[in-house]
Structure 1
Amino acid sequence: MTGSVRIDVDGLLLDCDGVLVDSHDAAAIAWNRWATHWAPGFDFHRDIEHGRRISDLVAELIGDTSQVEVAAAELKQLELDTATDVRPIPGARELLAACPPGRWAVVTSGNRALATARMASAGLPPAPVLVTGEDVDNGKPFPDPYLLAAQRLQIPPERCAVFEDAPAGIASAREAGVPTIVGVGAAAAPVTLAVADLRAVRFDGARLEIARDALLPQTGE
């Protein structure tokens, strides 16, 4: 790949929704249906905090701690019901197909069933390592998810690159000590590099390569 940025890394840690899978419309349908009963006035497009766990968001939205488990379970089922209404982010299939086994992980705030269903519906291969919001005590923006993913890959966080699209995830990666953070789409926090999608991204297990003409300008540039 000519005219590229090259960064030596040993592993890729990728968020799912917004990075590998375009699930925005499906999630909006599920959340807005759920909100009619549990959080009247909530609008997904206006109010959602991307990148955080359902359980954490539901607890803040409904206020009644005794109902969080029931409300979260209902929302999870609604999201699972719409899991087929997703598509891959451009370039995701090609990038993952070329990634060496054991060198990449998916790190999502969603639950395992939802992440697995959305990736399958988008035609993406199963992740060799999948860390979900269910696997950690503290979800994004805390560092726990990315630290656990790096541990399971047996690659130090400082030798990984993270692909994220949400402020909570970017903060999580930064707190985990990951030096290279690539924002996908309209990332709302400072990142190392930013791209619109994954079509110009390559990884061979030792080097991350991104075409320069695919890089997006960042805030302040």
Structure 2
Amino acid sequence: MSGLLLPAQGLLFDNDGVLVDSEPSVVRSWSRWAVDSGLDPDEVMAAVPGRRAADTVALFVKPEDVEQSTALITRYELEDVAGTLAVPGVLDLVAQLADVPWAVVTSGVRELAAARLLAAGVPAPDVVVTAEDVVMGKPHPEPYLTGASRLGLPPGELIVLEDSPSGVRAGLAAGATVLGIGETALVSEAPAVVRDLTGARWTSDGLLLPDAALLRRP
């Protein structure tokens, strides 16, 4: 059989960069926040991927200012969701998951995650784990352990789909199979990496990935 089969009973998707392409919005919003906060936008952007907004903000502002600054970046991002698109292959794959346990596990807050999924036309699953649901964000495994628990499956029977090195570390630490999405994932520890989800197919045995999408094999 051509392609790569990752055995699993369910899927745990990161949101930004995996289900939805929100990068232009993220760059605009965080750059705006950085300038407003008297910070270097490039330095701030380097800290954003795979982290909760509050965790990123806490790297740059005083502890007493974290809550207010997090509310500001959240507002900026919510004001800029209109151009969010589905990552290639996502809509076709999600349409195959009607009877498959799957969840979204994102570092974003609930309101922003819902807005981006809606803008991209990606239906939200019953289980969505967001920044508000965990004490420790990625790269800590808590977000993915929470997602697995809510699906009622052991992490070892699930595939985590992630684009950021931080998220990949979280998935591996949780004990899941991890699939990297996009070229950024090539610098992570993800054993397998695909360009995007074009041609990905759910089978009775797990997730089948076409050769054409593979950037790295286990």
Q: Per-residue displacement from partner, 1:91-134 (whole Å, max 9, x unpaired)?
A: 11111111134511001000011011001100111122100111
What is aligned with 2:73?
75
1:106 to 96, 104, 107: 104
3-state SS of 1:29 partner = helix
What is aligned with 1:159?
157
Unaligned runs of 5+ in 1: none
Q: Is the 8 A contact 1:144 1:176 kept in 2?
A: yes
What is aligned with 1:141?
139
15 and 162 in structure 1: CA distance in 2 versus 1, 3 angstrom threshold: same
Unaligned runs of 5+ in 2: none
Structure 2 length-normalised TM: 0.93
Structure 1 length-normalised TM: 0.92
Give me the identity figure in percent.
38
Q: Distance in 1 between matches of 2:162 and 2:38?
A: 28
What is aligned with 1:58?
57
Q: Distance in 1 between matches of 2:100 and 2:128?
A: 11
1:45 to partner: Cα distance: 8.2
2:120 to 114, 119, 122: 122
Q: Distance in 2 between matches of 1:30 and 1:205?
A: 41
What is aligned with 2:2?
3
- Runs in 1 of length 4+ with deviation above 3 angstroms? none
2:118 alignment partner AA? A
What is aligned with 1:92?
90
1:34 to partner: Cα distance: 1.0
1:213 to partner: Cα distance: 2.7
3-state SS of 2:95 partner = helix
Aligned pair count reads 216
3-state SS of 2:216 partner = coil
RMSD of equivalent CA atoms: 1.7
1:41 alignment partner AA? D
Q: Distance in 1 between matches of 2:27 and 2:38?
A: 14
